[in-house]
Amino acid sequence: MSHLFPTYTRFPFEIVKGIGAHLFDEQGNEYLDLTSGIGVCGLGYNVKALNDAVEHQLHQVWHTSNLYESSLQESVAAQLGVHQDMLVSFANSGTEANEAALKLARKATGRLDFLAFDHSFHGRSAGSLTVTGNEGIKEGFLPLVPGARFAKYNDFAAIDEIKPDLAGVILEVVQGEGGVIAGDAKWLKTVQDKCHEVGALLLIDEVQTGMGRTGSLFAFEQFGLDPDIYTVAKGLANGIPVGAMIGKKELGQYFGPGSHGSTFAGNPLAMAAAQQVLKTLNQEFLSTVQQKAVAMHQAMEKELLPMDMVDSISGLGLMIGIHLNQAVSVGQVLAQLHSQHVLALSARDNTLRLLPPLITSQDELLAGVDEIKKALNTVESATATA
């Protein structure tokens, strides 16, 4: 009997080791990883520079409270701001970073309400779940926090919902859990303009899209957006739990001493890893991610898009959605991929989701596309003969 609450349906094998973009289970089977956890280990597994950075810190001090100066936090924070003078509040997860963003937006504007979008995902704490556009995962937990309204993502009619009573509008530039749906550039810009017009803050959740996933450090940079607040987590320390809320300097006055905090936030081990991650994600590295992503998208369009069971392919950079129709179920495809020793993910609406480590070589990414083609064919013939 498992002693864990059954909040996850787990696959029947355990990952016990990783090297680069490859993972190994307890029986020694090797897998090509197209998941990075769920978009976490962007730099892959067992990375010497990261191991060294964390090990060095391990022998210095594991934990200090936030009552003392932290040059590590300062260094990571300075690199997370897209403008020189932005401020950072560290957290331990994406959920917590979003929770901080919602609190700060309320306090700074003196307003209560938020506009969020259908099929968004921002976390599972009361506040972050409130602005998550998935009614199913709220079941049994209502009422949550008052003040959230929802509109359709990428819909220009949603702009009219951005009114002067809003503390903020929260969105993902590419909806991840919601099915890897990229925001329309013009729509995103119009949302930002309307926020400015009515004095609502623009909160961008970069928890899944951030840290190089889409080919830039933050996805919003590719859309020319300038959020008041943005949040990151997942890839920030390549798997050591951490989150961060980054906001414009003028918001600092609303998050004074005692207004927010967390015992573990900005933990030295996480900061040592984050510092090394940020050092690695330089322009040259990000350009390579973009090039590999272009090659992979081209291969998918050539090999997968013409297949009967593939409706469309979406995403940005190495955040990819392969939208399957009813001819196959994504669950079956994942199981087939496992038997071919490839790990992938699913998202809403029968979507096969890929979030490969950013360090995966182009050859490995293309091999992944071939494996997916093989898996889709195998599942389709099995379904047809069943």
Ligand X SMILES: Cc1ncc(COP(=O)(O)O)c(C=O)c1O
d(CA 263, CA 291): 40
Name the minimum Å distance from CB 33 to ligand X. 17
- Beta pairing, strands 351-354 & 345-347: antiparallel
Alpha-carbon torsion angle 15, 16, 19, 22, nearest 10: -20
The yes or no reply on residue 176 touching ligand X (CB under 6 A) is yes
Name the minimum Å distance from CB 178 to ligand X. 9
Name the minimum Å distance from CB 213 to ligand X. 10
Q: What's the burial of 39, exposed, middle or buried (CB within 10 Å: 0-12/13-18/19+)?
A: buried
Residue type (1 letter), 312: S
Q: Closest CB to ligand X among 233 and 313?
A: 233
| Residues 97-116 contacting ligand X, CB under 6 A | 98
Name the minimum Å distance from CB 123 to ligand X. 4
Q: Closest CB to ligand X among 246 and 310?
A: 246
Q: Closest CB to ligand X among 99 and 364?
A: 99
Q: Closest CB to ligand X among 205 and 371?
A: 205
Chosen residue from 35, 73, 93, 222 binding ligand X by CB under 6 A: 93
Of all residues in the shown chain, the one whose CB is closest to ligand X is 94
| Residues 207-246 contacting ligand X, CB under 6 A | 207-208, 233
Name the minimum Å distance from CB 38 to ligand X. 6
Scanning 22-30, 81-89, 94-102, 271-279 for contacts with ligand X by CB under 6 A, the matching segment is 94-102
d(CA 87, CA 69): 15
- The Cα-based distances of 267 to 54, 91, 241, 262, 372 in angstroms read 11, 9, 9, 10, 39
Q: What's the burial of 192, exposed, middle or buried (CB within 10 Å: 0-12/13-18/19+)?
A: buried
* Structure tokens given for 70: 């932290």
Scanning 50-58, 75-83, 205-213, 317-325 for contacts with ligand X by CB under 6 A, the matching segment is 205-213
Scanning 17-25, 88-96, 219-227, 300-308 for contacts with ligand X by CB under 6 A, the matching segment is 88-96
Name the minimum Å distance from CB 175 to ligand X. 8
CA-wise closest residue to 188 among 200, 176, 170, 215: 170
Name the minimum Å distance from CB 93 to ligand X. 4
Name the minimum Å distance from CB 207 to ligand X. 3
Chosen residue from 18, 94, 147, 357 binding ligand X by CB under 6 A: 94
Q: How many binding residues for ligand X (CB under 6 A)?
A: 15
| Residues 118-137 contacting ligand X, CB under 6 A | 121-123
CA angle 160, 166, 171 (to 5 degrees): 75
- For residue 171, the cross-strand partners are 204
Q: Closest CB to ligand X among 96 and 371?
A: 96
Scanning 64-72, 75-83, 200-208, 342-350 for contacts with ligand X by CB under 6 A, the matching segment is 200-208
Residues 6+ apart with CB under 8 A from 357: 20, 21, 33, 36, 41, 42, 43, 44, 45
d(CA 21, CA 44): 5
Chosen residue from 177, 228, 364, 371 binding ligand X by CB under 6 A: 177
- By the 8 A CB rule, do 236 and 210 touch? yes
DSSP string, 234-297: GGGGTTS--EEEEE-GGGGGGS-TTSS--SSTT-HHHHHHHHHHHHHS-HHHHHHHHHHHHHHH
Q: Closest CB to ligand X among 121 and 223?
A: 121
Chosen residue from 25, 33, 99, 172 binding ligand X by CB under 6 A: 172
State whether residue 168 is helix, strand or coil.
strand
| Residues 29-58 contacting ligand X, CB under 6 A | 38
Residues 6+ apart with CB under 8 A from 335: none
By CB under 6 A, name the binding residues for ligand X. Answer: 38, 93-95, 98, 121-123, 172, 176-177, 205, 207-208, 233
